[in-house]
Structure 1
């Protein structure tokens, strides 16, 4: 093989520097073939990719005796669920020189060090710069303070490599056995690298708006967390508070989920509890949720390598012996066809590592520490199939505002969480949540313990929500503070049918609780969604939190008078309004008298509520 002839005159380093400077710069090559590829750029090289499904993005030559060894940055094309999306795997391919030039070992060592430094500088390691995302904290009366917050990418998506070089600790869905012989040694040997948010992951921000693209090059999906500082998550304590955001999900089809939710992670990502975790919140560590996921690579500062099995249908993911559990409040799980908000509670407090039965896997689903089903309010599932969707009352073809209120028993932050309410604002109108229209479930429009119990009975579902503490357990989590997660993802386990179609698929759609949205039961297959909708995206913006009634108005920031739209079933009979129902506001034409003993309270000029 002829690859390069470099002159014998002059010193090795001098000539090599000239080689870098004048001849080779950056050479970019793409190939889907395992056959040799001829590359021409001033000189000819023979390139052998390590595996067929790969992208070779950059390489840098290193002169070693009679050969030239090129170090290639290899990135997998197939990063579905993206546990290691964008990761760079350094490999070597020997390219024989035309002449057999030999050099002293000392010169080789000197040049080797030079090459490594250069490699880091050009992107072998990526600086971590969190995208800025401003949010607002509001108080009664509508006064809001802008916060200099940002977002950070979850650690599971990042390139994981040896601390002493560039060798992958994790490739595809397999751990390097040499670097990771046991959980502790692996944590000590391996480092998380920074992220190219826009280029690799399709994550961009502008002011108060965050865009998450579904597919960006090789990467599929993403998950980020709201940061208060460069090394600490923003902790949200939402008892007797409300959380508001705008969302544009017009570009999210069936099978996708643009999610915004709270998780009971540690503010520092676990660094204070687990000494082996040096990366912390700055690099998105410490994730947990009510599903007790086993695919998290590091839990409690240790690699989750024990019992690790690569996924049969996802070449970049796998599951280990341990899961990581905690309370989870799904404020928003949705696409353009369906939406739900769902509290999930656990018998443990804070991020907790699980194993065995406690994880609630498979047939032990209802034996674990967490409520995996949750108590969901999905308007379609609860009997209103004309409420949310393209061209419907809440029109998903355009942006709208989502308001979630965490109401306590005495309307104070020290009271007990008693209800989770939902409102929408679109085109200058406040839209009350749809009312339940299912036999056996009272016609409310919010999540309460009574609603959850009635729903589980009517649908014949196991009531793991009640058995794990119900809203009282969520009360404790909200009191301690929770971390905001935002993500876009597809579902390798159930094709997202639990959100937007009929689920489970072995039951009739006419069975109460089975139909959850209008999507076909054959939709949502990840391979199909990824190939057919790579341009999908979701935009979250104008995130606000604070006193109830302080974070939204009917004008949507555009000025002018607003009106209120109420789905049928909101006011009670006799011209009175139930507790927490709307009883007034600009343009309101419904009942204004509250059911005894409640009275109508003005929250802002556009919305009054009975409590």
Structure 2
């Protein structure tokens, strides 16, 4: 799952914002990040790039030669944004200083995302998307094949998440569907995930100003009436202590704006349109505590390769998804994923049977089955020619990342099956503390490849 991430102000002009129109204060230049498509004949380099999510960008008035903020701290400017549509007309989204402000750097095939970047003011975290070109996200459908990348999490302690995942976003960021969105994919618009986040400033080309409530834990964030939902395939949620991969199907198709019960908020978690829990495979949670971590079988003090295979019913990209397999490669050795040691749960991959057994063993609600299982997750990859690749670094204001690397939920004993997910203490992950104690943390993703089975590693 992907929870909200945040940044602080940049000088007196830059604020955490999103928009649909385009400003001219800073030229938008997308960092290059080469990737590869592979077949049995070899791999072909793709001239791909990355773009910063619109929610991190400065939002200001469209008035000529004026730069009044449309959003400051955790509040909208009510004069410029009296309602959602007027706000979209009055406000412009500007270009980004990727390295100087956001700590985002790329060289060849490697992308580095820094946790805290201190300039005139402090930036915390970031989220970027892989682009086919300057106006379109790269759509990827790995069904019947595999997706592979190298990762370095040696500089990610407890409480942080260096995530790489697929989101059911539109290739153009929603520009064609919503004419008021003139910024499109070029400025990182159109985000959605299975948590149906309410902190996104613009959804469906309109400002999310209605019922906007400032966050009680983050001075630069808030939430509005609407959420933005879509299928999500978490290939990689990890730090140096724990990792999980998790499909999150939704009953909807593509990016969908939600309100009320369909968002699945609060006590209605399982009444919404998306499976917020997903069906996760975390080696530590599944009983093998020596497989992943510092000095363990997959040694997180060094770079390694992550291979995820999407097995279909007929072996092609048109078949139904029936299994998601995981492999690792480090120092020239290929490792199969660790197997479950839970007595009633067998296997080392995600299947519908594994998910049903795991949910029963851990006493969890099987919303994964209710929302369509692996077949629906596979259907999301077929929609619009694939899904959008997201990469991020973030801390967790909602649950302190305990669901990934510690014992969670806190109202259950750590000895209860499924509660302990990693070795981190339940006191770790407090955003204010980790931002102060580990500001130089970072994650590095490199050598992104996708294609036929056993061709990318």
TM-score, normalised on structure 2?
0.95
> In structure 2, which of residues 353, 368, 381 is the aligned counterpart of residue 478 of structure 1?
381
2:447 is aligned with 1:542: yes
1:89 deviates by: 2.8
Structure 2 unaligned blocks of 5 or more? 15-22
Aligned mates of 1:340, 1:283 — CA distance in 2: 29
Shift in alpha-carbon separation, 1:289–1:87, aligned structure 2, 3 A: farther
Is the CA contact 2:325–2:350 (under 8 Å) kept in the aligned structure 1? yes
2:248 is matched with which residue? 344
> In structure 1, which of residues 158, 163, 166 is the aligned counterpart of residue 57 of structure 2?
158
2:363 is matched with which residue? 460
2:87 is aligned with 1:173: no
Aligned mates of 2:8, 2:442 — CA distance in 1: 20
Is the CA contact 1:401–1:425 (under 8 Å) kept in the aligned structure 2? yes
2:114 is aligned with 1:213: yes
2:17 is matched with which residue? none
1:445-478 Cα shifts (integer Å, max 9, x gaps): 0000000000000000001000000101111111
Is the CA contact 2:9–2:73 (under 8 Å) kept in the aligned structure 1? no
Is the CA contact 1:87–1:159 (under 8 Å) kept in the aligned structure 2? no
Is the CA contact 1:544–1:551 (under 8 Å) kept in the aligned structure 2? yes
1:131 is matched with which residue? 31
Matched ranges for 1:565-604 at <5 A: none
Aligned mates of 1:140, 1:455 — CA distance in 2: 35
Aligned mates of 2:85, 2:37 — CA distance in 1: 40
1:287 is matched with which residue? 191
1:253 deviates by: 0.1
Is the CA contact 2:24–2:94 (under 8 Å) kept in the aligned structure 1? no
Is the CA contact 1:83–1:158 (under 8 Å) kept in the aligned structure 2? no
1:229 deviates by: 0.5
SS of structure 2 residue aligned to 1:184? helix
Is the CA contact 1:379–1:385 (under 8 Å) kept in the aligned structure 2? yes
1:369 deviates by: 0.3
Matched ranges for 1:101-120 at <5 A: none
Aligned mates of 1:386, 1:258 — CA distance in 2: 21
> In structure 2, which of residues 97, 101, 106 is the aligned counterpart of residue 196 of structure 1?
97
1:269 is matched with which residue? 173
Is the CA contact 1:84–1:157 (under 8 Å) kept in the aligned structure 2? no
1:257-300 Cα shifts (integer Å, max 9, x gaps): 00000000000000000011010000000000000000000000
2:420 is aligned with 1:515: yes
Shift in alpha-carbon separation, 1:207–1:144, aligned structure 2, 3 A: same
Structure 1 unaligned blocks of 5 or more? 1-79, 91-122, 553-611
1:124 deviates by: 8.2
1:203-252 Cα shifts (integer Å, max 9, x gaps): 00000000000000110000000000100000001110100000000000
> In structure 1, which of residues 390, 396, 417 is the aligned counterpart of residue 294 of structure 2?
390
1:310-361 Cα shifts (integer Å, max 9, x gaps): 1011000000000000000000000000000000010001000000000000
2:393 is matched with which residue? 488
1:140 is matched with which residue? 40
1:182 is matched with which residue? 83
Is the CA contact 2:7–2:124 (under 8 Å) kept in the aligned structure 1? no
Aligned mates of 1:426, 1:324 — CA distance in 2: 37
> In structure 2, which of residues 286, 299, 322 is the aligned counterpart of residue 418 of structure 1?
322
1:531 is matched with which residue? 436
1:483 deviates by: 0.0
SS of structure 2 residue aligned to 1:89? coil
2:10 is aligned with 1:86: yes
1:85 deviates by: 4.6
Q: How many residues of Structure 1 are paired with residues of Structure 2 in the alignment?
A: 439
1:84 deviates by: 6.3
SS of structure 2 residue aligned to 1:495? coil
1:82 deviates by: 2.9
Shift in alpha-carbon separation, 1:396–1:179, aligned structure 2, 3 A: same
Aligned mates of 2:79, 2:311 — CA distance in 1: 53
Aligned mates of 2:349, 2:70 — CA distance in 1: 46
SS of structure 2 residue aligned to 1:127? coil
1:539-560 Cα shifts (integer Å, max 9, x gaps): 00000000011100xxxxxxxx
Shift in alpha-carbon separation, 1:88–1:132, aligned structure 2, 3 A: farther
Is the CA contact 1:84–1:160 (under 8 Å) kept in the aligned structure 2? no
1:161-201 Cα shifts (integer Å, max 9, x gaps): 00112000000010000100110000011000000000000
TM-score, normalised on structure 1?
0.71
Aligned mates of 2:131, 2:27 — CA distance in 1: 17
